[in-house]
Structure 1
Amino acid sequence: MDQLSAMRAFVRVVETGNFTRAARSLDMSKTTVTNLVQNLEGHLRAKLLNRTTRQVAVTTEGALYYERASQFLSDLDELDGSISSSQAQPSGRLRVEMAGAFADLIVIPSLCDFYCTYPQITLDIGVGDRLVDYIAENVDCALRAGAPTDQSLIGRKVGEIGLRTYASPGFIEMFGAPQHPRDLEDKFFSVGYLNAQAGKVLPLEFRRGDESLEITPRYAVSVNDSRSYVAAALSGMGVAQAPQFMVRDAVERGDLVEVLTDWDREPLPLYIVYPRTRHLGNKVRVFVDWLVKLLKESNARDAQSPRRTMPIKVKPEAEEPAPVAVAAE
């Protein structure tokens, strides 16, 4: 029996939840995976999995074996990678997940540079902010905004996103501009950003010196995609707190202008995240290093961009109609 292959097959079955997905991710037939696991159980003289027609459940012995085996395989891959990285050009398929705005505006425009440096790496980029099953979908890593909260993931900070507060000139012409963040609670509409996982619109954050505010925005529309969020702001649907890299061109054209310029907010950290059961292989390392450089260049361009504003017009309060004098008969 090839015990190492059998261990890999068993670990993949546990992580993916069934033999079919495990076989697909290992590029093996289902029969081969089944035979490997059966041979491993025979070698160990222990039942590792309970199989039914619908699902696979791990036995107590199987759970203990999985914990040790997955760590062993991860250490083995790390050892192999540390040796081979100094001997060979990084190669293979790299599956990465990221939000569409990062892909379209930062990563994809510079991919030719990455490919020229690492021609033996094939990139599969999944676009979206959805929840990812890293193991079942064989995802190597993901670029995400905010620190990871999932304890099964390891995160490495690779950069930050600068955010400022904007509105369209048409919005300001019609309604005026907010003079204080509190105005966004009851006087002015914002564009709401809907957190699909939490099922609620995210608050707006502001900072000025030692003063910090968290505002629950008043909104007429909310969206759960960053590009749609900026599009709604451009159409005049409200004030938006948007990443600078996403609105750079719109600001330069004058399609968006900055408001509440004496307030800013903490930058949003960017992380590369990957499962604890998977080591950061050489192909992932070179991609992450390239991405860190790319994000620094993007932030440098944002820092040099002019802060376009326009005169604040305060919409006057409606006056009470003057009383009408009625002549006495």
Structure 2
Amino acid sequence: MDQIQSIRVFARVVEAGTFTKAAESLDLPKGTVTKLVQQLEARLKVKLLNRTTRRVTVTPDGAAYYERTTRVLKDLDDIEASMTNAQAKPSGRLRVDVGTSVAGQILIPALADFYRRFPDIQLDLGVTDRPVDLITDNVDCVIRGGDLQEQSLVARRLGNVPLVAVASPAYIKARGLPRHPSELEREHTTVNFFSARTGRPYMHEYMQDGKTLEVAGHYQLSVNESNALTSAVLAGLGVSHIPTFTAEPLIASGQLVRVLEDWTCPVIPLYVVYPPNRHLSAKVRAFVEWAAELFSRHPQVLTG
């Protein structure tokens, strides 16, 4: 029995939902597809599929087997691709996850350039500020800001994103300009940000003359998504830190005003991250190198 072929056939049956559709997509006789799956079950001594006259459903053991073997098949495909002309011309489906503000304001506007260089790569772009499990979620790589939580992953630093403290003109008209960060605890209102992973709120940090001041902020609204944070500040709901690549155009247009200018806000490290146990295929390498070049050119991302 060709074990790899049997696994590929089983995976296609799971995805297609019937033996007939799987056979058609693989251009194989239905009887061959059925036999290969039966041989696989006999080898494993486990029932992988429940069969009815209309549809096939996956058993719990089958679901677990499918989840693990699809990652193996993907790695095999990547290895084969890297040994062929795909090394010179990357191709195939690539799953990337990116934070919302980075995706909307830096990455997506530049994708036309990516496709000009790599027209045969099909990109599945997950856009969320929530953390993902690269292995469980079958993600090839992620772009994320902040300190790395999982030290076993391979990370390439893309640069640092400065933050800037801002408020809307409407907020300033109603509440005035804050003169010191400590006023964010009393006289002023903040819009806070909390971790989508842990629920922990982030402190507002300000630096001056080598000293760092952390304030929790007096808030009425706390969010866990970067675009929502910007929207809340634009709506006049309080003072907050946002990335300079988001803030600069809004400040230039008069929609936001920089506050506490005598104080420096922190910078957020930005990384592209991928699993160490996954063969770095041509398409992943192409995206990582392109992203590194993209962020190195961006005026609001600090590199070096």
Q: Per the shorter chain, which TM-score range?
A: 0.7 to 0.9
Deviation at 1:173, TM superposition (A): 2.4
State the match for 2:280 in structure 1.
280
The structure with the largest alpha-carbon Rg is: 1
The alignment covers a number of residue pairs equal to 284
Deviation at 1:79, TM superposition (A): 5.5
State the match for 2:227 in structure 1.
227
Deviation at 1:243, TM superposition (A): 0.3
Cα distance change, pair 152–35 in 1 and its aligned pair in 2 (3 A):
farther
Q: Deviation string for 1:62-118 (max 9, x for gaps)?
A: 9xxx8xxx89995x6676455436753001111111122222211111111111111
* 2:61 counterpart of 1:56: yes
Q: Distance in 1 between matches of 2:85 and 2:241?
A: 42
Q: Deviation string for 1:36-68 (max 9, x for gaps)?
A: 68756866xx76899998623999xx9xxx8xx
1:154-193 equivalent positions in 2, closer than 5 A: 154-193=154-193
Q: Distance in 2 between matches of 1:155 and 1:129?
A: 18
Q: Distance in 2 between matches of 1:154 and 1:8?
A: 29
Whether the aligned pair in 1 keeps the contact of 2:87 and 2:282 (CA below 8 Å) is no
Cα distance change, pair 7–54 in 1 and its aligned pair in 2 (3 A):
closer
Q: Distance in 1 between matches of 2:15 and 2:149?
A: 26
Q: Deviation string for 1:110-165 (max 9, x for gaps)?
A: 11111111111111212212343544543222211123323564332222211111
Whether the aligned pair in 2 keeps the contact of 1:98 and 1:126 (CA below 8 Å) is yes
Provide the secondary structure at the position in 2 that maps to 1:184: helix
Q: Distance in 2 between matches of 1:277 and 1:130?
A: 23
Whether the aligned pair in 2 keeps the contact of 1:8 and 1:73 (CA below 8 Å) is no
Cα distance change, pair 86–199 in 1 and its aligned pair in 2 (3 A):
closer
State the match for 1:240 in structure 2.
240
* 2:215 counterpart of 1:215: yes
Q: Deviation string for 1:267-319 (max 9, x for gaps)?
A: 11112223344222111111111112222222x2578xxxxxxxxxxxxxxxx
Provide the secondary structure at the position in 1 that maps to 2:181: coil
Q: Deviation string for 1:230-269 (max 9, x for gaps)?
A: 1111121111100011122111012212112222233111
Q: Distance in 1 between matches of 2:46 and 2:149?
A: 31
Q: Distance in 1 between matches of 2:227 and 2:92?
A: 31
Cα distance change, pair 131–8 in 1 and its aligned pair in 2 (3 A):
farther
- Normalising by structure 2, report the TM-score: 0.75
State the match for 1:205 in structure 2.
205
In structure 2, list runs of 5 or more residues that go unmatched: 24-29, 51-57
Cα distance change, pair 137–173 in 1 and its aligned pair in 2 (3 A):
same
Whether the aligned pair in 2 keeps the contact of 1:9 and 1:22 (CA below 8 Å) is no
Q: Distance in 1 between matches of 2:90 and 2:239?
A: 45
Provide the secondary structure at the position in 2 that maps to 1:217: coil
Q: Distance in 2 between matches of 1:9 and 1:162?
A: 50
